[in-house]
Amino acid sequence: MVDVIMPALGMAQDTGKLLQWLKQPGDPVAVGDQLFEVETDKSVMEVEASEAGFLTQVSASDGDEVPVGHVIAVISATADNVVVAAAPKPAPVPDSVAEPQKTPVAPVAATVPAAAPMSSTGVSTGRVLASPKAKRLAKEQDLDLGALAQAGHPQPYHVSDLEVLRSLPVIGASPSGQTVILVATKQITARCPRQGSRDFIDWMETDGAITVVPTAIFASFAAGAFRAATEAALVVVQVSGPDKDDVFLRNPDYSRLSVPAPETDDDATFVLHDLSDSFLTSLRLGDTTLPTLSIGADGDSYAITFEFSSEHMVDDQAIAFVSGLARRLADPLHHLV
């Protein structure tokens, strides 16, 4: 058997606050498994098992302040001796207790604790409690854990909370000083061979005397892939390009490639930047007003970049959209026949 004790994580630390057990009594543990979390003055630390066995004889509960060096559990060879310490029973109350003399008390004004100081971006600058791994990943991914605190998400934070953080609106300030909310942009990139589309354009020209421009293919295939991924009834594509006027095409996947798709005044479903006839290969604009797709030529491949936010569509839909578009561009005949 091996004792599990409250470790000393600071020079002047007398006690540690057990935030939560990560293993339950009777659970098997391996060397290196995380047993529980301890809150110190500066952070949250995860304490690992030094021996393999079963967690037994747990004598401290979540939220307890435990003296440093105090045994709070045992790692046993078997789970037969699982004992959880019961909370101490309250002292018995005598049958008759003298009623204390009530003394008038002057009313005291209630005080409300001051809110944590705020940074210029509206994010709390108070202390943030998070596991070392969550802090490391947040730093690597340029994520501000303070935004979770500002949003009221309960601390301490773990790796799983980073996904919540990514979905939060980003609070900033406009040039006029007004607070604005910028929805976090997500991005998906893909590549597919250009040869399939080239062969298709040549085949249409040679066998059918029909001229098909890449922009028409992009708009048609993008609308079809978007409709398949989202089951949208109406798809309006705002087609843009360097040195070109924007046009809004209504359901271009319903039109023949040899016939221009009908233009419309309806609001766009997404923006399509055709970069295939320019030196640009991709765009990363960070604009979340509309989902934004760019298609550029990069050697023998098409470079596809799609920017969107959680307000536009869920991740699975966006992935299906980009994947479907890439498949259509790689093998046009397969999707048109």
Peptide bond into 156 cis (omega under 30): yes
Tens digits of pLDDT across the chain (337 residues): 788 888 876 656 778 888 888 998 888 999 888 888 888 666 677 888 888 888 898 899 988 888 888 899 888 888 776 766 544 444 444 444 444 454 444 443 433 334 344 433 334 445 677 777 788 888 888 788 888 887 778 888 888 888 887 776 655 544 555 544 555 678 899 999 999 898 888 888 888 788 888 899 999 999 999 999 999 999 999 999 887 789 999 999 998 888 889 999 999 999 999 998 888 877 777 656 889 999 999 999 999 999 998 888 899 999 999 999 999 999 987 766 5
Report the alpha-carbon distance of residue 325 to residue 331 in Å, rounded.
10
pLDDT for 32 equals: 85
Which tokens go with 321?
Answer: 């959209």
Report the alpha-carbon distance of residue 27 to residue 139 in Å, rounded.
33
Phi, psi of 267 (to 5 degrees): -65, 145
Contact indicator for 92, 119 with CB cutoff of 8 Å: no
Report the alpha-carbon distance of residue 182 to residue 307 in Å, rounded.
14
pLDDT, one tens digit per residue, over 166-188 is 776 655 544 555 544 555 678 89
Report the alpha-carbon distance of residue 145 to residue 149 in Å, rounded.
7
Determine if the pTM surpasses 0.85: no
Amino acid at 235: V
Structural domains for the chain: 2-76 (2.40.50.100), 129-155 (no CATH), 185-330 (3.30.559.10)
Report the alpha-carbon distance of residue 49 to residue 55 in Å, rounded.
10
Distances (CA, A) of 198 to 214, 253, 301, 302, 330: 9, 19, 11, 11, 10
